[in-house]
Copies of this chain bind each other. A is one copy, B any other.
Amino acid sequence: MTNNNNLVASRRALLKKGAALAAGMGTLMVTGQAQAKANCTPAPQKFDEVFDIIVVGSGFAGMSAAVQAAEEGAKVLVIDKMPVFGGNSTINGGAMAVAGSELQAKEGVNDSIELMVSDMLKSGRGMNDVNMLKLVCNGTSESAKWLESYGTVWKPFVQHFGGHSVPRVLQTRESSGAGIIRPLIKAAEKIGVTMYKQTKLESFIQDDDQRVIGVNVKSQYFFPKERTGSQRTLGARKGVIMATGGFGRDIDFRQMQQPKLTSELDSTNHPGATAGALKQMMLIGANPIHLDQIQLGPWSSPDEKGFGTASQFNTAATYQNGIVVDARTGERFFNELADRKARADAIMTRRDEQGKPVYPIGLTNAKGAAKAQTLAWGMKYDVIKKADTLEQLAKEYGIPADKLKAQVAQWNQFVRDGEDKQFGRPLMQAFELTEGPWYAVRMWPKVHYCMGGVRVNTQSEVLHLVSDKPIAGLYAAGEATGGIHGASRLGACAVAEGVVTGRNAARSAAAASAISLKQA
């Protein structure tokens, strides 16, 4: 038995004693049972360890919060329940929407914070929290530079992702969020941030004024084995920052809100993307916003698991520089640069008479695929197929060849005319598809992002359901929060949100008054 377990045992004994004493007071207890209420466990007098700020989660929001808080002089701990740091952020595409970047200026793209806000509001169907949205968009340019200062390297060109009215996406050299997370972890270690893996938040510790003063955790926890790990108490003199992401892989929880998102629908998320931390916040009064707004990524393939190779290929190649067609007709059926919800909804209409998916085909040529870093891998795993001619490509997927050729010809005419007369796709970076070789993938959406989460104010304080005032000591950032994106997040806006709100939460927590906590 560890010291920690000793403490737990001793606390249990005291609780029992306390309950017995309370029972002795007669009028206070109905049943006289010895067990204390789960949500009424008194705070420990001494914590196993005490920090200024505890950050829960180590993705974009968590690592940005940790480094920013340390910059502000706070003693910081980051915990993550998984055996590796980074969560979904290391397996995402590392693309960050930035309004008014130097790269945009260099390429002659006119952009503004107002335009980015307006694009996100449109995609969010007006359900967005406008104040939070402005805070994020306002912070993108400065935060992109802040990331650079810690070692992130952006590709030397700006990209045009779906739903954005102009090209405004920066992407890490690696086409991966690891190009952001790795430098931040290095910075955190250098600046003295403590980081614990396999340490799972169990519940919050609140004082008698309901202020969050720490967390009960399980250390040496092996996800997803709930019986592993040992109890520890961690104190937070200034606050706890929840950067705990979404619940895309929590199949039970997501199905309560969206019954159609069954286990048969794949997800791009890592296995740890569950609702546990969200539930703990809700249990102490956090206000859940838009929990049923769950985004399906429109760029994934049914021919591989998870994020895979198709997602980057489609984002950088077919959606920007190619077309997507119905496999039965060879015809386009939506604006390939619409927002994610519009695209995913469109794709999922392609079904046979029994309702089974008829996977649409995304295609482009060698010029269109030039910036797709996952091309070789995708071909290796037979997810992306190559064909020298459109006829061969059509044959590969059972598309009527004459119709496919006619569709490509029509597309090229739209590009020459400067107008997509069918679906109104923006053509700023479009070019004609004139020659092979051709590359293509089968497409079907996967669960990707939770727009929903807890309600926060512009200080990143978590607001209480009843009072709509901050729950003292509790902050949240990134995907764990709800409302910024409304009904549908635009691509590359999760990195923007995570970094900007993570740093925002850190500044708020660092500026909070510290309370005195004792360490065992």
Question: Which residue numbers of A lie inside 8 Å of B, CB to CB?
Answer: 10-11, 14-15, 17-18, 21-22, 25-31, 33, 35-40, 42-46, 126-130, 206-210, 213, 252, 256-260, 279, 282-283, 285, 287-293, 455, 465-466, 468, 483, 517
Contact = CB atoms under 8 A, between A and B. Distances in A.
Nearest to A36: B208
Contacts of A289: 256-257, 291-292
A30 B18 contact: no
Given A39-B39, A282-B465, A287-B256, A17 B11 contact: no
18 contacts: A21-B21, A21-B22, A27-B44, A31-B207, A31-B209, A33-B209, A35-B209, A37-B206, A37-B208, A38-B210, A39-B40, A127-B257, A127-B259, A279-B465, A288-B291, A289-B292, A291-B291, A292-B293
A218 to B, nearest CB: 15
A30 B44 contact: yes
B257 A290 contact: yes
A208 B11 contact: no
A468 B252 CA distance: 10
B21 A42 contact: no
Contact of A30 (B28, B207, B260): B207
A431 B403 CA distance: 44
A22 to B, nearest CB: 6
A257 B10 CA distance: 44
A200 to B, nearest CB: 14
Contacts of A27: 10-11, 14, 44-46
Contact of A210 (B11, B37, B130, B468): B37
A447 to B, nearest CB: 15
A285 B283 contact: yes
B279 A466 contact: yes
Contacts of A126: 259-260
A72 to B, nearest CB: 25
A367 B127 CA distance: 42
- Copies of this chain held together in the complex: 2
Given A257-B289, A279-B466, A292-B293, A45 B33 contact: no
Dominant secondary structure at the A interface: loop
A435 B36 CA distance: 75
A40 B43 contact: no
A284 to B, nearest CB: 8
B29 A22 contact: no
Q: Which 5 A-B pairs have the closest CB atoms?
A: A40-B40, A30-B43, A33-B208, A27-B45, A28-B42
A86 B147 CA distance: 59
A130 B289 CA distance: 23
B22 A42 contact: yes
Nearest to A258: B127
A29 B288 CA distance: 30
Nearest to A17: B25
A470 to B, nearest CB: 15
Contacts of A44: 27, 30
Contacts of A11: 27
A207 B465 CA distance: 23
Nearest to A35: B208
Contacts of A28: 14-15, 18, 42, 45
A30 B213 contact: yes
Contacts of A209: 31, 33, 35
Contacts of A31: 207-209
B466 A283 contact: yes
Nearest to A487: B292
Contacts of A466: 279, 283
Nearest to A285: B283
A503 B44 CA distance: 46
Nearest to A15: B28
A289 B287 CA distance: 13
A226 to B, nearest CB: 12
A206 to B, nearest CB: 7
A415 to B, nearest CB: 31
A344 B291 CA distance: 23
Contacts of A29: 42-43, 45, 208
A239 to B, nearest CB: 16
A210 B179 CA distance: 47
A288 B288 contact: yes
Nearest to A25: B18
Contacts of A517: 30
Nearest to A128: B259
Nearest to A29: B42
A455 B256 contact: yes
A292 B127 contact: yes
Contacts of A283: 285, 465-466
A287 B257 CA distance: 10
